[in-house]
Amino acid sequence: MKKSATLTVDGVGKSFGGLHILKDISLEVFKGERIGIIGPNGAGKTTFFNLLTGDLPPSRGEIYHNDKKITKLPNYKRTRQGMVRTFQKNNLLNELSVLDNLLLTLQRKLGYGYVWYKMRNEKKYKAIYEEAHQLLEKWGLKHRTNAIVKNLSYGEQRQIEILLGVALEPQILLLDEPTAGMSQSETDYIVDLLYKLPKDLTLLIIEHDLDVVFGIADRMVVLYDGGVLVEGSPEMVRNDPKVNQIYIGSEEEQIC
Ligand SMILES: Nc1ncnc2c1ncn2[C@@H]1O[C@H](COP(=O)(O)OP(=O)(O)OP(=O)(O)O)[C@@H](O)[C@H]1O
């Protein structure tokens, strides 16, 4: 294990009964890296995220964050340590406004816990309100401040969810298919947001849109058959015959 990795995955596997979904994954991720994770449907990408975030325990292997073993650390403690994830489906409070969702997230970041009624006092909690409004302005969502989440389009809901992840100022942000089901303009919004993230933020992104992920990632990890098939620069992965084989079934053609 190298000391300088912010996230180290050492021989991790996951089995569901006799089904060995992930067999032996090892990976080192360094601060500020943008890691793109791709692989065919069912390759185990989301399962891998679940292991990293503590949503599922690994069947074997160890996971380290900043050299500290976190393999058995519960999910909420990993979040407190700065590991934040978004899901394929939105995880928002749909009956509340965008502002209220953001206030609750900021409340959590500042350690207030979920004491919702207190947040109604805008004067007392001025700093949180100001931060929320600044974030909505910064990320171009001011016009949605008072919109009720359930009335937004699916793409907008995903945008808000990613904004909430960013609002927590994580060290490591894990995005599970952030552009899935989005229109082109909604995808462009997410791509723009990802490019504007702080450079020292470490990003792991599962993404089926190869144009998006090849554009963002410094390094790609291709999961296949329970293991890492190929790992390397987007250029290398794009031209790798094995990768082309699993994506389009031909060694002659390239991914994009
Ligand atoms: N809790 C579970 N119990 C049993 N099998 C599971 C469980 N979670 C995932 N699997 C199986 O593990 C395999 C990998 O699923 P996973 O969602 O991790 O793949 P993925 O690469 O993210 O797929 P996709 O690209 O379609 O989202 C699938 O066959 C899935 O059915």
Establish whether residue 107 lines the binding site of ligand 1, counting it when its CB lies within 6 angstroms of any ligand atom: no
**Sequence letter at residue 33:** E
The pLDDT of residue 107 is 84
Classify residue 84 as exposed, middle or buried by CB count within 10 Å of its CB (0-12, 13-18, 19+). Answer: buried
For 72, counting Cβ atoms within 10 Å of its Cβ (0-12 exposed, 13-18 middle, 19+ buried), the class is exposed
Is the Cβ atom of 73 under 6 angstroms away from ligand 1? no
Ligand 1, atom 28, lies closest to the CA of 42
Our mutation pick for probing the ligand 1 site, out of 19, 22, 45, 47, counting the most ligand atoms within 8 A of Cβ, is 47
Q: What is the pTM of this model?
A: 0.88
Please give the domain boundaries of the chain with CATH numbers for all domains. 5-90+170-248 (3.40.50.300)
CA of 47 to the centre of ligand 1 (A): 6
Per DSSP, 138 falls in state: H
Q: Could you tell me whether strands 219-224 and 34-38 are parallel, antiparallel, or unpaired per DSSP bridges?
A: parallel
The Cα angle at residue 106 between residues 104 and 107, in degrees rounded to 5: 60
The Cβ of residue 6 has, within 10 Å, a number of other Cβ atoms equal to: 20
User: Strand 202-206 to strand 172-176: parallel, antiparallel, or no bridges (unpaired)?
Assistant: parallel
Tokens 């990632």 belong to 217
| Binned average pLDDT, 10 residues per bin, the chain of 256 residues | 80 94 96 96 94 96 95 92 82 91 85 64 84 93 95 90 91 93 89 91 94 94 94 94 77 45
Query: ipTM score here?
Result: 0.95
